[in-house]
Amino acid sequence: MNLSSLKVLNPIVSLDELKKYEDVIGDEDIDSLILKVDHISLGTKSINLLRKLYSDFLYIGGSVLEDVHRWPAEQKDTPIEFHKNMFSLELNDFFVVGVSPGSKNDQIDKFMNGEETTKIHHIAFLVRNFNLAIEMFKDQLDFRCLDCAKPNQGDIRQVFLIHENRNILVEIVWRSDVNSKNLIHKNIVTLSSSLEAYKNVS
């Protein structure tokens, strides 16, 4: 798996941080399963830093999918700890999702832990076969599935897997339309919930 296209993120994100993904996703069998990087999720500590990150991506040629906004638009049915500010921008052959906390002590706030630098929250890989990719990440690369019992739905299937020793979170994505850049509200809630459940038992 070649992550060289992600080098466009330098110097916005440290290449050392990207390298830890490259080291893991290097297996030949995995290579044939992964079609490409679908998206990368980057965290910032505050909405002001998120706006700065958004501007940086515009400056290097990103095309806007969604500008900085509050998610979810309808807030009442989504747990407060999952609320966030976010944007999405297309870059070359993948897209970037930027997030910042919606409130103190929510999921993104805890992830950022007060750090000023932009941090990779996860990298999402678009795969040819959803279930097979999950099995290979588990069996060959020592990842652990978060909430794999709940297969996601319809035209997009998504799940988080974590490599605890390396502290790497990846997302496996399968799309019926490989060119789609859709993110589905329900899937974001499910993914956030799986991460929360994992932290609560760790």
Beta carbon of residue 3, minimum distance to Fe ion (angstroms, whole number): 16
Contacts with Fe ion by CB under 5 A: the residue count is 3
Q: Is the CB of 3 or the CB of 29 nearer to Fe ion?
A: 3
Query: What does the chain look like in DSSP terms, one character per residue?
Result: ---GGGGGGTTTS-HHHHHHHHHHTT-HHHHHHEEEEEEEEEE-SSHHHHHHHHHHHHHTTPEEEEEEEEE-SS-TTS-GGG-EEEEEEEETTEEEEEEEESSTTSHHHHHHTT--S-EEEEEEEEES-HHHHHHHHHHHH--EEESTTS---TTEEEEEEEETTTTEEEEEEEESSTT-----HHHHHHHHHHHHHHHHH-
Output the smallest distance, CB 28 to Fe ion, in A: 25
Shortest Cβ distance from residue 59 to Fe ion (Å)?
23
Q: Which stretch binds Fe ion (CB under 5 A): 2-10, 38-46, 52-60, 144-152?
A: 38-46
Write down the least CB distance from residue 16 to Fe ion, Å. 21
Residue 171 binds Fe ion, judged by CB under 5 A: yes
Instruction: For residue 38, state whether it binds Fe ion (rule: CB under 5 A).
Output: no
120 binds Fe ion (CB under 5 A): no
CB of 39 to Fe ion, least distance (A): 6
**Near Fe ion by CB under 5 A: residue from 37, 124, 162, 169:** 124
Which residues in this chain contact Fe ion in the complex, by CB under 5 A?
41, 124, 171
